[in-house]
Structure 1
Amino acid sequence: MKRFKQSLQKVMPLFISLSLLYTGNVSADVAVVVHPSNNSEFDETIIKKTFLGKSKSFSNGKSTILIGLSSTDDITQEFNRKVIGKSSSQVKAYWSKILFTGKGTPPQELDSSALVLQAVASNQDAIGYLDPSVVDDSVKVVATF
């Protein structure tokens, strides 16, 4: 028993360090961006309604074009959890129903945050979410979660 306790005392600091490292990587920030000329109002509720297809236009009256990342991307999973309040599989099921009933179109999925940045920067009606580390002056950040 004494030997077990000694072994445990040696291993425990390593276990705690690895646990903290893992926990620190689970949560990432997500930036919601629009074209710099978009002067619409944004808050968490508006963004959620927009990305659920419940609001199809900005407060300036222009139609929205939804841009996102692959449903398996960590940023998408964070966005869905923090903003939408659902898991990625729940969001996918939600959009399947909306698409089937003809009531909306899910966000266009791109392969990287850099591609989302380019898509939003080149379209005044686009709104997207991405990794904040790639944001530059070509877009305007309207929220960070």
Structure 2
Amino acid sequence: MIKRIFLATSLALLAHTSSAAVVMIGHPATADQLTKKQAQAIYLAKSKKLPGGMSVTVNELAAGDPIRTEFHDKVTGKSDAQLKSYWSRLVFTGKAAAPSEHSSAVAMKAAVAAKPGAVGYIDEADVDGSVVVLFKP
């Protein structure tokens, strides 16, 4: 019994410590480093430009993705249901266009790398030379 508890605890700790953190990424032409407040404003459509003045294009992972959940927990403080409601209201009133949704980190990275001003978020372990880290919550 004690061996099982020890094994379960060890595996839980290993799983928790081996995962990398979520990071907000941008197109390599974007040299801006963002604060949490700036990242939040971008992801809540309160800011449509990066600090350097470049227009921003927001990208999201699909609802239910654990990286999406972690990012929004740390940055916007909104759940998937709250985000859906929030963005529906913005789109309906014409205040913003809904972010593009991507099914994987690979698709997210490709979308961000393809368009100057594009932003997204992925697991830090997936960052490569095709994108730059703008913010790490």
The normalised TM-score by structure 1 is 0.82
TM-superposed deviation, 1:28 = 5.6
How many correspondences in the alignment? 135
Unmatched 5+ residue regions in structure 1?
A: 1-9
2:81 is the counterpart of 1:89: yes
Q: Percent identity?
A: 34
The normalised TM-score by structure 2 is 0.86
2:88 is the counterpart of 1:99: no
- Higher RCO, 1 vs 2 (CA within 8 Å, ≥6 residues apart): 2
2:66 is the counterpart of 1:74: yes
2-structure distance, mates of 1:133, 1:28: 6
Per the alignment, residue 36 of structure 2 pairs with 44
Q: Is the 8 A contact 2:22 2:124 kept in 1?
A: yes
Per the alignment, residue 118 of structure 2 pairs with 126
Report the residue type matching 1:65 in the other structure: T
Unmatched 5+ residue regions in structure 2?
A: none
Mark the CA change 1:48 to 1:20 in structure 2 (over 3 Å): closer, same or farther.
farther
- Higher Cα radius of gyration: 1
RMSD: 2.1
Per the alignment, residue 5 of structure 1 pairs with none
Structure 1 residue ranges, 4+ long, deviating more than 3 angstroms after superposition: 19-25
